[in-house]
Structure 1
Amino acid sequence: MTCNRTTTIRGVTAGNDTVLELLPMVFAAPNDALARAEGVLDTDPTPLHASVAHQVIGIWQRDWGDMRLALDHLRRARELAARADSAEREADVLATLGVALVHAGRTRQGLAAFERGVERGTGHTRARVLYRRAYSWWVLGHHREALDDVRRAIPVLRQADDVIWTARALTLRATVHLALGAIRQADADFTAAEALWDTTGQEHDKADAVESRGLAAFRSGDIPAALRLLDEAEERYAKLGTPTFMLDIRRCEVLMAAGLAPEALAEADAAIAVLDGIGGQSTRKAELLLAAAKAARLAGDAGTAIARAALAVRLFAGQRRTWWEAHAQLVLIEARVATGRGSGRLVAEAVRVAERLSAFGAPAAPEAWLLAGRIALDLDWTTDAERYLAVAARSRRSGPPLARMTGWAAQALWARATGSGRGVLEACRRGLDVLDDHRTTLGASELRARATAQGAELAALAQQVSLERGGPRQLLVWSERWRATVLSAPPTRPPADPALLSGLTAFREIAARAESARMDGRPVPTLEREQRRLEREIRSRTLHIRGDAPGDGDRFDVGRLLARLGEGRLVGLAVLDGRVQVLLCGGGRVRRFAGGLLAEAEREAEHVQAGLRRLAHPGAEDRLAVVEVMGRRLEELLLGEAADHLGSGPVVIVPPARLHRVPWALLPSLRDRVLSVSPSASSWLRARETEPPPGGRHVLVRGPGLATGGAEVPEVAGRYGRPTVLEQADARVPRVLAELDGAALAHIAAHGTFRADSPLFSSLRMADGPLIVHDFERLARSPYRIILSSCDTARLASVGADELLGLVTALLPLGTAGVVASSAPVNDEAVVALMLALHKGLSAGLSLAEALRDARAALPGDALHQATGWAFTAFGAA
């Protein structure tokens, strides 16, 4: 056997050059490279050729398979390289083996392999070894060493005109820059690397470059771009058939920053299970455990966070990855604090972690100093707390938005510790402004709503200071500052994306088929799986939308609110330290009254909901008195003495998100009033000042499957001259949306479904399938007034700081001034009578709230009608 021997392997000539081509091929077409390398070993190859084949198999197993097999193949590759008496070949294999050993957690052996590789290699080969050692330094968290090695490698690789390895080295250097917070330098290297990748056929490396640009977008604060790029990278990897553990880790980071911690936890745990199943890299497992720990902490699952973080700490320590170990320790301390375990020992541990992260130059260092300051404050160690918070506060001036938020939170707590109420309010204002600017980059209403959770602490601090040192007006202003902010501007309309539109159509068809199958008693698992897949695809595409709405420059003005109220009253409910504070606005002033405990009010509201569900069925009339008693108890908890000062005019209730299901008309002081509910005082003002569209079109829609067949629609139609009536085949989603756009009044009689797991897929059933919230968001202008006469259409999901997602909140920012909807199950036949009475008032010129008040009183003494009236609420100001 000679070194220039030529054999044919599965149709490929395999001389020296062609066998060596398998090495770049493993990142261009990994599975093909694996198959061809195995074919080489079947042909009695020379030691040199066999060394290459074993190295290719080792790389494949290292990155996408079993680490034990990877190490076996790479050690065999090294032995064969030595037998071939090729120092350059041996150096190259030693570098590959070094990476595998580091990923297997055998850090000392891996670094020794690199030392030997650097000694054996020369020139171009040594530069490739240095690149791979730089990569391993990055994996280990030794960023300065990584930069030293990669900077030594790049000039040699460029001089050798080695496009592939130069592009890899530039990508690595950019990634290290990102870890150190040097975003501008990272962008420059990513751009240069991408230009080089475009000249190659390295498909896996190209996918990695897209993934890296997603990471860069995330570090710069552009979450929609990050999600889009990571999804694109995943599609590229899927075509190559390779696992995506590093991408999973990065996507978890982005999901957490987007407020989607439960999704991040599920993704991390799923990836860990896959990795364990194939015996994959222990380094990646540790990183996935860290991601899972962070996600669990953010999701409020401290127990899971502690378990995942503790295991990650042990793995990182065993792998000698001190940078990563410090990050895992930070999450572990945060999770322990979340369980109420604040102690002097935890302060000391947090300070040690903060010092280590600062020494590493890690962007997470301010977060650790903030944590140390928080724990010290809780222990009344004021002097220590001030020192730690002052260090954390330095990050408020620069960096990505969430890092600056950390700095402003530290500044606010520092001001609180020093007794400066003015300093607290200024820091809270500046921090929320940063988050406001960040939220305008998010086009999806779900992301904008969830992002508000980042500002919850600042808003609460400002409210607390206002309660202690300011008057009711100041407390009202700060209560409004971070309430229902997602309604402050219309969501960015989804682009005319053919894939998104076809996905929505396919989703409707599958959902309709699944519903039909359920009604016929046929199995639906396959249809349900396809429906879930389409939902994920639709949601993914909407999360990619970048915001184009400017921040809300029209700040809340108490004077303007009081002027607009006239003889009416607005009752704003704020929650501080678990207790309801009632802010009664009207008559030219704002007054504060004490309410009860929020937790008690929530429990009572759930009891009321259960009572209304029972009253929806004939024969439960005796429960009416019990529900009325619950209403009195709710009033005591939610309004307190304010109930005696409501005047005689209309009343607007502005509840916190957690009380959105309260049937307000059940409260004794509100039963006979013109009553409306608004997510915020600001949104009520906008609704109050919204002008009706020209033309005065009326649209009435009847969906399929209603017990009464939407019996109110024909009679209602007679009240409005020549309305557009859509029913049977005409009640299809595209036609319904076209008619709703810009209508003056819409009445939709259709089955409603609320999706607590995914509120933007809450729906109304049309002839061709569900009309979902995502569909409404495509309207240029939603109807000025809209009546949803089915069950649960006013149910909403509470997310973020104080935000609500669902059908009603989708309509209000799009031009709808008023909505009537139900927050509880209702009796279909009783709804018909209520709706007829409601439209009688509307056709006489009454507002939605006035007409609903009169409709509730249309059948005195009828318990079923009474309960149905309580279940419906007028939202907005039309």
Structure 2
Amino acid sequence: MVFAAPGEALARAERVLRSDPSPLEASVAHQVIGIWQRDFGDLGVALDHLRQARDRAARADSAEREADVLGTLGVALVHAGRTRQGLAAFERGVARGNGHTRARVLYRRAYVWWVLGRHKEALEDLRRAIPVLRQAGDVIWTARALSVRATVHLAMGAVDRADADFTAAELLWETTGQEHDKAVAVENRGLAAYRSGDIPAALRLLAAAKERYDELGTPPFMLYIARCDVLMAAGLAPEALAEADTAIATLDRIGGQSTRKAELLLTAARCALSTGDAQTAVARAAVAVRLFSGQRRSWWETHARLVLIEARVAGGAASGRLVQDAAAVADQLASFGAPAASEASLLAGRIALALGWTADAERHLGVAARGRHVGPPLARMTGWAAQALRARAAGSGRGVLEACRRGLDVLDDHRMTLGASELRARATAQGAELAALAQQASLAHGGPRRLLEWSERLRATVLAAPPTRPPADPALLASLTAFREIASRAEEARREGRPVPALEREQRRLEREIRARTHHTRGAAPGGGDRFDPARLLDRLGDARLVELTVLDGRVHILLCGQGRVRRFAGGALAEAVAEAEHVQAGLRRLAHPGAEARLPVVEAAGKRLEELLLGAAASRLGSGPVVIVPPGTLHRVPWALLPSLRERVLSVSPSAGSWLRARETEPPPGGRHVLVRGPGLATGGAEVPEVAGQYATARILEHEGAQVPRVLEELDGSALAHIAAHGTFRADSPLFSSLRMTDGPLIVHDFERLARSPYRIILSSCDTARLASVGADELLGLVTALLPLGTAGVVASSAPVNDAAVVPLMLALHKGLGAGLSLAESLRDARAALPGDALHQATGWAFAAFGAA
């Protein structure tokens, strides 16, 4: 019962002990309390009860009872870090028990062998135990044994064998009432899905297991470890680190298992390393190494040493000693049959290359490269990274490009199994090194056109296909509706000066729920979509010029595309450009308020410096036609119209050349419906909307109660032109919750992603609507990038705060140009020129940009 109904089992056992039980009965009761405390509570208390259970069994003169308790005690001792005592308890238990009881003790020892990383011993004990348990008709213990065997297979990289055992165990669990074990079975399937590369299924199954554990009131520390691993694989390392640290704190608070703490520390070290926090990773990994060593867990200790070396290298260390240490770890992991052996060989090769030890590097990288054809996607990418580094060390540019292409093909297939745009974007970080290696090889051995191809290879890939949505997800819709209501109530409470902590807590809970449900969605099919073709781009440009900025080793390289060719120019340092862009943003914020006219020359001077850093000599070779700017994610906030050579031009911005091409070739929807939306709380009340409506005879105006999210989405879907005057809020911490304020609450990016087709053209006339979060290798998440893959060919939005009153004449002039048949970029150029010449209106014009190609 302790795993079927833990709370009830604990209460019954305590009642037995209060009823003057016999030694045999007392032994059972103490064992139940010991199991509960061992797995869900204080390990010190567990050991006290299990020793009493052992003593009562001896007093009852029951060898079978004593053997059974010794098996439970052995597990607890090992979890407490007393490995030698735990194994001794198992020896006595195996000797005291017979038949069925001995098989149960052997199963428990197999579990402990797995905890210790001694997989061969675990499989041997399970080989002896499972037939006896089956013959005895012991469904529960047979299922447990199959689950442990599957877990051992996973640790050894045998995913298919693990999946077969997990499936067999789950079929057995369905015939029992063991609710905790059923939750473990769901968790195990999630772990198997993760190891096979199915991240959405893993997240969904682990969430389902968490719900079951919560219902039982049992803390699932193994689940936390599994979730952290999956979150890291999904590119959500900060969330994984927070979860690991929370689990460690919980474990410390209840006095839980020392073995689990060591595993959680190792997990936290991996998470910190993934976030780029080498110092935290070193600290966590060093403690994990000490704990594993004291627990005599060589398999785990070796994995922790690998992470410790990786963290030290990430912190800037490189020495011959580290090469030797990484090579020794690789050899030891290989002797364990651990899949991480190739990762250690790659690390040894990297350090050797940094030291110029080419022969050693070739040896280690050659070993790591063997894994490029087998295993889950991320393991194969490790192999291709090793192969690319080998080729670079050998001076083979062709070899580097081929290895990078093959590795990124693996990433493309993996990325498209992810249905959520956020996960697709973040997954590209795993290919950043391969893309950089290919760019460097292109620069050294190819020409500007090849560099353009590789700059596009991992840029804005999330825009290549719309996110995958479940056919109908009532739970997601309900969460979105509840989120909107809570967010609206919180906003109203803030305006009235009422406390909002409870509302904010509920809002954060709903945000987590919405994110989780979108993350569980699997992509429709593998494959990376259309490959970028420079010839197609050059053909479609006509008299326009496309300027793609790419960054290599901290320097900006300018690729000028047009007139049938691609030319490369040198730019400045990226860090300088980013700093200058931040100064400009600060200046525009000041200029959005009257009385800041003195800042105008400062902002204009900064624009000139930005041009020198970002366009260089290409500024004088832009021709007379339209210009398309394709910046890297780190430069997405540059107000490009401020740059002197771009101020009078037809100018548009695109996250990638490929996305510009797709926007250029997007056909407008039939019908030509126009939708104008006015949200609440604007200083001017969205004054441009009634006047703009006069330019479109059949425009649908949504305002007041008509401007509620469901109605707005219904009208936006498939429209030709949408103009939304509503307060915009950018969420840097969670960009897909960036929003536009409607009457009934925020219209968020997740809402836009539910559209069958977003408006062909959309104008967002309020502050910060073009702000985006840079994630992954070179991806951007926010309102604008949510619209482009859903059928929007062009967007006008602002990347800075703007003055509501100054926006009105800009918008009226913009729509006048659209009514005359001009594109968004042409209309915006003319609208800027039509504004008054004061600082307030000039800054407003610079803050807006046209995105896409409509």
Short-chain TM bin: over 0.9
Please report how far the alpha carbon of residue 554 of structure 1 lies from its aligned counterpart in structure 2 after TM superposition. 2.0
Distance 1:120 1:861 in 2: 95
2:220 to 240, 244, 248: 244
1:399 to 375, 392, 395: 375
The answer for the alignment partner of 2:402 in structure 1 is: 426
Quick check: 1:159 aligned with 2:135? Answer: yes
1:707-742 Cα offsets, whole Å, 9 max, x none, are: 100000000001011101000000000000000000
1:542 to 518, 530, 539: 518
- Partner amino acid for 2:177? G
1:450-481 Cα offsets, whole Å, 9 max, x none, are: 00000000000000000011000000000001
The residue correspondences of 1:782-801 to structure 2 (distance < 5 A) are 782-801=758-777
The answer for the alignment partner of 2:210 in structure 1 is: 234
The answer for the alignment partner of 1:98 in structure 2 is: 74
Q: Which runs of 5+ in 1 are unaligned?
A: 1-24
Quick check: 1:608 aligned with 2:554? Answer: no
- Partner amino acid for 1:696? G
Distance 1:559 1:228 in 2: 42
2:560 to 584, 590, 611: 584
Distance 1:258 1:152 in 2: 39
2:707 to 719, 723, 731: 731
The answer for the alignment partner of 1:122 in structure 2 is: 98
The residue correspondences of 1:14-25 to structure 2 (distance < 5 A) are 25=1
Tell whether the 8 Å contact from 2:409 to 2:528 is kept in structure 1 after alignment: no
Distance 1:557 1:248 in 2: 44
- Partner amino acid for 1:281? Q
The answer for the alignment partner of 1:59 in structure 2 is: 35
Please report how far the alpha carbon of residue 623 of structure 1 lies from its aligned counterpart in structure 2 after TM superposition. 1.1
- Partner amino acid for 1:235? E
What is the SS of the residue equivalent to 1:590?
strand
The answer for the alignment partner of 1:668 in structure 2 is: 644
Q: Which runs of 5+ in 2 are unaligned?
A: none
- Partner amino acid for 1:469? H
The answer for the alignment partner of 1:202 in structure 2 is: 178
Distance 1:631 1:178 in 2: 56
Tell whether the 8 Å contact from 1:573 to 1:655 is kept in structure 2 after alignment: yes
The answer for the alignment partner of 1:8 in structure 2 is: none
Distance 1:787 1:673 in 2: 19
Tell whether the 8 Å contact from 2:413 to 2:528 is kept in structure 1 after alignment: no
What is the SS of the residue equivalent to 1:845?
coil
Quick check: 1:531 aligned with 2:507? Answer: yes
The answer for the alignment partner of 1:368 in structure 2 is: 344
Distance 2:302 2:38 in 1: 26
- Partner amino acid for 2:320? G
Distance 1:110 1:495 in 2: 52
Distance 2:126 2:2 in 1: 22
Q: Deviation above 4 Å: which 4+ runs of structure 1? A: none
What is the SS of the residue equivalent to 1:178?
helix
**820-829 or 485-494, larger mean C-alpha shift:** 485-494
Please report how far the alpha carbon of residue 339 of structure 1 lies from its aligned counterpart in structure 2 after TM superposition. 1.1
Distance 2:742 2:210 in 1: 35
The answer for the alignment partner of 2:478 in structure 1 is: 502
The answer for the alignment partner of 1:46 in structure 2 is: 22
2:421 to 445, 468, 471: 445
What is the SS of the residue equivalent to 2:756?
coil
- Partner amino acid for 1:703? G
The answer for the alignment partner of 1:823 in structure 2 is: 799
Distance 2:835 2:330 in 1: 67
What is the SS of the residue equivalent to 1:719?
coil
The residue correspondences of 1:216-231 to structure 2 (distance < 5 A) are 216-231=192-207
Tell whether the 8 Å contact from 2:629 to 2:654 is kept in structure 1 after alignment: yes
Tell whether the 8 Å contact from 1:492 to 1:549 is kept in structure 2 after alignment: no
Please report how far the alpha carbon of residue 425 of structure 1 lies from its aligned counterpart in structure 2 after TM superposition. 0.4
What is the SS of the residue equivalent to 2:419?
coil
When normalised by structure 1's length, the TM-score is: 0.97
The answer for the alignment partner of 2:311 in structure 1 is: 335
Please report how far the alpha carbon of residue 669 of structure 1 lies from its aligned counterpart in structure 2 after TM superposition. 0.5
Please report how far the alpha carbon of residue 860 of structure 1 lies from its aligned counterpart in structure 2 after TM superposition. 4.2
Please report how far the alpha carbon of residue 494 of structure 1 lies from its aligned counterpart in structure 2 after TM superposition. 4.0
The residue correspondences of 1:673-822 to structure 2 (distance < 5 A) are 673-822=649-798
What is the SS of the residue equivalent to 2:695?
helix
The answer for the alignment partner of 2:161 in structure 1 is: 185
Distance 1:376 1:112 in 2: 44
Please report how far the alpha carbon of residue 550 of structure 1 lies from its aligned counterpart in structure 2 after TM superposition. 4.6
The residue correspondences of 1:503-522 to structure 2 (distance < 5 A) are 503-522=479-498
Distance 2:128 2:766 in 1: 69
Distance 2:846 2:24 in 1: 83
Please report how far the alpha carbon of residue 862 of structure 1 lies from its aligned counterpart in structure 2 after TM superposition. 2.1
What is the SS of the residue equivalent to 1:555?
coil
Quick check: 1:135 aligned with 2:111? Answer: yes
Distance 1:46 1:700 in 2: 81
Distance 1:783 1:151 in 2: 62
Distance 1:318 1:549 in 2: 47
The residue correspondences of 1:436-475 to structure 2 (distance < 5 A) are 436-475=412-451
Distance 2:124 2:636 in 1: 57
Distance 2:503 2:520 in 1: 26
How big is the alpha-carbon RMSD for the aligned residues of Structure 1 and Structure 2?
0.6
Distance 2:158 2:234 in 1: 22
What is the SS of the residue equivalent to 2:524?
coil
Please report how far the alpha carbon of residue 551 of structure 1 lies from its aligned counterpart in structure 2 after TM superposition. 2.2
1:95-144 Cα offsets, whole Å, 9 max, x none, are: 00000000000000000000110000010000000000000000111111
- Partner amino acid for 2:434? L
Quick check: 1:279 aligned with 2:255? Answer: yes
**493-502 or 456-465, larger mean C-alpha shift:** 493-502
Please report how far the alpha carbon of residue 499 of structure 1 lies from its aligned counterpart in structure 2 after TM superposition. 1.1
1:78 to 51, 54, 62: 54
Distance 1:384 1:787 in 2: 58
Please report how far the alpha carbon of residue 244 of structure 1 lies from its aligned counterpart in structure 2 after TM superposition. 1.1
Tell whether the 8 Å contact from 1:490 to 1:549 is kept in structure 2 after alignment: no
The answer for the alignment partner of 1:850 in structure 2 is: 826
The answer for the alignment partner of 1:10 in structure 2 is: none
- Partner amino acid for 1:398? V
What is the SS of the residue equivalent to 1:212?
helix
Please report how far the alpha carbon of residue 291 of structure 1 lies from its aligned counterpart in structure 2 after TM superposition. 0.6
What is the SS of the residue equivalent to 2:214?
helix
Distance 2:720 2:599 in 1: 38
1:838-876 Cα offsets, whole Å, 9 max, x none, are: 111111110000000011111242221110010001000
The answer for the alignment partner of 1:5 in structure 2 is: none
Quick check: 1:862 aligned with 2:806? Answer: no
Distance 2:551 2:4 in 1: 57
Percent sequence identity is 83
Please report how far the alpha carbon of residue 702 of structure 1 lies from its aligned counterpart in structure 2 after TM superposition. 0.3
Quick check: 1:597 aligned with 2:573? Answer: yes
The residue correspondences of 1:564-579 to structure 2 (distance < 5 A) are 564-579=540-555
1:121-175 Cα offsets, whole Å, 9 max, x none, are: 0100000000000000001111111111112110000000000000000111111
The answer for the alignment partner of 2:187 in structure 1 is: 211
Distance 1:50 1:59 in 2: 14
Please report how far the alpha carbon of residue 827 of structure 1 lies from its aligned counterpart in structure 2 after TM superposition. 0.4
Tell whether the 8 Å contact from 1:494 to 1:778 is kept in structure 2 after alignment: no
What is the SS of the residue equivalent to 1:611?
helix
What is the SS of the residue equivalent to 1:801?
coil
Quick check: 1:416 aligned with 2:392? Answer: yes
The answer for the alignment partner of 1:623 in structure 2 is: 599
The answer for the alignment partner of 2:10 in structure 1 is: 34
Distance 1:829 1:168 in 2: 69
Aligned length: 854
The answer for the alignment partner of 1:652 in structure 2 is: 628
Please report how far the alpha carbon of residue 549 of structure 1 lies from its aligned counterpart in structure 2 after TM superposition. 4.5
What is the SS of the residue equivalent to 2:774?
strand
Quick check: 1:144 aligned with 2:120? Answer: yes
- Partner amino acid for 1:105? G
Distance 1:452 1:203 in 2: 39
Distance 1:418 1:113 in 2: 56
Distance 1:869 1:149 in 2: 74
Tell whether the 8 Å contact from 1:572 to 1:654 is kept in structure 2 after alignment: yes
What is the SS of the residue equivalent to 1:857?
helix
